[in-house]
Amino acid sequence: MMSKKILLTGDRPTGKLHLGHYAGSLKKRLEIYEQYESYIMVADVQALTDNFNNPQKVRDNVFEVVADNLAIGIDPNKATFFIQSEIPQIAELTVFFSNLVTISELKRNPTVKTEIKEKERIFGHEGEHLTFGFLGYPVSQAADITFINAEVVPVGEDQKPMLELTRQIVRKFNNLYGQTFKEPKEVLDNISRLQGLDGKKMSKSLNNAIYLSDSREEIEKKIRKAVTDSENKVYFDPEKKPGVSNLMTYYQIVSGKSYNEIEDEFKDIKYYIEFKEKLIDKLDHFLKPFRERRREFENNPEKVWKVLREGKEKVLKKAEENMKIIRKNMKIDYFL
Ligand code: TRP
């Protein structure tokens, strides 16, 4: 019998998950995770690289991101959830990998570059307060993926550079120390980056997101005040009509309709509010089952912690086994 390939993916616990996460990675995750031996990691160590001054926020959001994953319908009996910091072998492997990456490779990483700019409050205007930990988090992410020999990694478009670096590290490691790791591949969804209600990238930090756990009232408030234009015509033109086009993308995600079908549906409207009201209904309808499933975990948080505790036990065993092989190949297996 062929054993299943291993899938691993992760979420940073820095806030609740939103529609951008859904369109960019969760939808794909949900579609494919049952075909593999799947692991979903709560990346608390990675979250701390830019939230080291706010550990309570990271702590609180561990529960939230797992609840969100369970709410969208990931079955904890078919995927293993665990917390990154509970697996010391990941930190250990990060140290070993750090010899195989140059500082200039890390400085060239486009995703990290953008993040450093966005986080100038912590890292300084010119990156003069950039930490070793933040610059190096892609190395740690390579360890997240390889410590368990994952081959399939469903992620958003912005994570492509991390997977490229991981493959590069794997090749270098295998060349130097003998065949040890498999080369992982990203699995992307087609909607790469969803904009928030203000036209900027949808993001927890920019406060412009529709959360998977939003109530109907919250959705109403947000959509009603979403920026449009004065034309009162629904058609897709992200250059000329960024606001309306973005709302059409939300509509597309929650209704499954194409842009053409959406244009056709609203060709006779007089005011955008008619489109917005319909969008509110569709969003509400779409998120309702998530909210209902989430409520069960909000009322019984110990269910979430049980999933995480059991996941930890299972993953630790695998990590210990794999670390024996890694240490042997690196000739640091002194007392094994
Ligand atoms: N960097 C990912 C994000 O910001 C989270 C993450 C951490 C991850 N480790 C991972 C994703 C390993 C896939 C595999 O969304």
d(Cα 279, Cα 259) in Å, to the nearest integer? Answer: 14
> Which mutation among 50, 84, 141 tests ligand 1's pocket best, with the greatest number of atoms within 8 A of CB?
141
Give the pLDDT band (50/70/90) at residue 201.
confident
**Is 94 touching ligand 1 by the criterion CB < 6 Å?**
no
- Which residue would you say has higher pLDDT here, 88 or 20? 88
Q: What pLDDT shows up at residue 190?
A: 73
pLDDT tens digits along 254-294: 999 999 999 999 999 999 999 999 999 999 999 999 999 99
Q: What pLDDT shows up at residue 1?
A: 62
* Nearest atom, ligand 1, residue 43 CA: 7
DSSP code of residue 127: S
d(Cα 164, Cα 142) in Å, to the nearest integer? Answer: 9
Instruction: Find the angle CA(94)-CA(97)-CA(100) to the nearest 5 degrees.
Output: 150
pLDDT tens digits along 127-165: 999 999 999 999 999 999 999 999 999 998 999 999 999
3-state secondary structure of 201: strand
114-142: b (≥16 Cβ within 10 Å) or e: ebbeebeebbeeeeeebeeebbbbbbbbb
Per residue, the 3-state secondary structure of 43-92, as one string, reads CHHHHHCCCCCCHHHHHHHHHHHHHHHHHCCCCCCCEEEEEHHHCHHHHH
pLDDT tens digits along 169-179: 999 999 999 99
Residue nearest to atom 14 of ligand 1 (CA): 9
Nearest to 197 by CA among 28, 25, 18, 11: 18
> Which mutation among 144, 149, 187 tests ligand 1's pocket best, with the greatest number of atoms within 8 A of CB?
144
pTM, to two decimals: 0.94
> Which mutation among 6, 7, 12 tests ligand 1's pocket best, with the greatest number of atoms within 8 A of CB?
12
317 carries an active-site annotation: no
Residue nearest to atom 6 of ligand 1 (CA): 10
Q: How many residues does the chain have?
A: 336
Catalytic residue among 160, 201, 233, 303: 201
Across 302-324, average pLDDT:
98
Catalytic residue among 5, 57, 119, 328: 119
**Is 79 touching ligand 1 by the criterion CB < 6 Å?**
no
Percentage of residues of the chain with pLDDT beyond 70? 98
Across 9-31, average pLDDT:
94
Residue 59 contacts residue 102 (beta carbons within 8 Å): no
Residue nearest to atom 13 of ligand 1 (CA): 9
What is the Å distance from ligand 1's center to 14 Cα? 12
Residue 310's Cβ-count burial label (10 Å; 0-12, 13-18, 19+) is middle
**Is 145 touching ligand 1 by the criterion CB < 6 Å?**
yes
**Is 8 touching ligand 1 by the criterion CB < 6 Å?**
yes
Residue 270 contacts residue 231 (beta carbons within 8 Å): no
